[in-house]
Protein backbone atom coordinates (compact mmCIF):
# COMPACT_ATOMS: atom_id res chain seq x y z
CA UNK A 1 0.00 0.00 0.00
CA UNK A 2 1.53 3.26 -1.12
CA UNK A 3 0.50 6.77 -1.82
CA UNK A 4 -1.69 7.57 -4.75
CA UNK A 5 -0.01 8.28 -8.05
CA UNK A 6 -0.62 11.41 -10.11
CA UNK A 7 -3.26 9.71 -12.25
CA UNK A 8 -5.28 8.65 -9.20
CA UNK A 9 -5.10 12.20 -7.83
CA UNK A 10 -6.25 13.55 -11.18
CA UNK A 11 -9.18 11.14 -11.29
CA UNK A 12 -10.11 11.96 -7.70
CA UNK A 13 -9.98 15.69 -8.48
CA UNK A 14 -12.22 15.26 -11.52
CA UNK A 15 -14.73 13.25 -9.50
CA UNK A 16 -14.80 15.84 -6.71
CA UNK A 17 -15.17 18.69 -9.24
CA UNK A 18 -18.01 16.82 -10.96
CA UNK A 19 -19.86 16.31 -7.68
CA UNK A 20 -19.43 19.99 -6.72
CA UNK A 21 -20.74 21.13 -10.13
CA UNK A 22 -23.62 18.65 -9.87
CA UNK A 23 -24.71 19.81 -6.40
CA UNK A 24 -24.33 23.49 -7.34
CA UNK A 25 -26.46 23.00 -10.47
CA UNK A 26 -29.22 21.29 -8.48
CA UNK A 27 -29.26 24.12 -5.93
CA UNK A 28 -29.17 26.83 -8.59
CA UNK A 29 -31.94 25.23 -10.63
CA UNK A 30 -34.12 24.82 -7.53
CA UNK A 31 -33.81 28.55 -6.74
CA UNK A 32 -34.40 29.90 -10.25
CA UNK A 33 -37.73 30.83 -11.78
CA UNK A 34 -38.31 29.83 -15.39
CA UNK A 35 -40.98 31.10 -17.76
CA UNK A 36 -42.49 27.62 -17.78
CA UNK A 37 -42.77 25.50 -14.63
CA UNK A 38 -42.21 22.35 -16.67
CA UNK A 39 -38.86 23.66 -17.87
CA UNK A 40 -37.62 23.85 -14.29
CA UNK A 41 -38.83 20.32 -13.61
CA UNK A 42 -37.17 18.99 -16.75
CA UNK A 43 -33.85 20.63 -15.86
CA UNK A 44 -33.99 19.28 -12.31
CA UNK A 45 -34.75 15.74 -13.49
CA UNK A 46 -32.02 15.88 -16.12
CA UNK A 47 -29.37 17.17 -13.70
CA UNK A 48 -30.32 14.71 -10.95
CA UNK A 49 -30.56 11.65 -13.17
CA UNK A 50 -27.72 12.26 -15.64
CA UNK A 51 -25.28 13.97 -13.29
CA UNK A 52 -22.29 16.13 -14.12
CA UNK A 53 -22.71 16.19 -17.94
CA UNK A 54 -26.27 17.50 -17.58
CA UNK A 55 -25.09 19.94 -14.91
CA UNK A 56 -22.56 21.43 -17.32
CA UNK A 57 -25.21 21.70 -20.03
CA UNK A 58 -27.51 23.39 -17.52
CA UNK A 59 -24.83 25.95 -16.55
CA UNK A 60 -24.31 26.99 -20.18
CA UNK A 61 -27.83 26.75 -21.61
CA UNK A 62 -30.45 26.45 -18.85
CA UNK A 63 -29.14 28.89 -16.27
CA UNK A 64 -29.28 32.00 -18.49
CA UNK A 65 -32.95 31.27 -19.25
CA UNK A 66 -34.04 31.51 -15.61
CA UNK A 67 -34.08 34.39 -13.17
CA UNK A 68 -33.38 34.29 -9.46
CA UNK A 69 -36.51 34.46 -7.36
> What pLDDT, on the 0 to 100 scale, is given for residue 52?
92
Q: pLDDT 10s digit of each residue in the chain, 69 long?
A: 568 888 999 999 999 999 999 999 999 999 999 888 899 999 999 999 999 999 999 999 988 887 877
Per-residue pLDDT at 17: 95
Phi, psi of 32 (to 5 degrees): -80, 150
Query: For residue 37, what pLDDT is reported?
Result: 84
> Rounded to an integer, what distance in angstroms lies between the CA atom of residue 64 and that of residue 35?
12
Amino acid sequence: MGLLGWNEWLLLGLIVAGVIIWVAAIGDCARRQFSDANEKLIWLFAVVLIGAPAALIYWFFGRPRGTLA
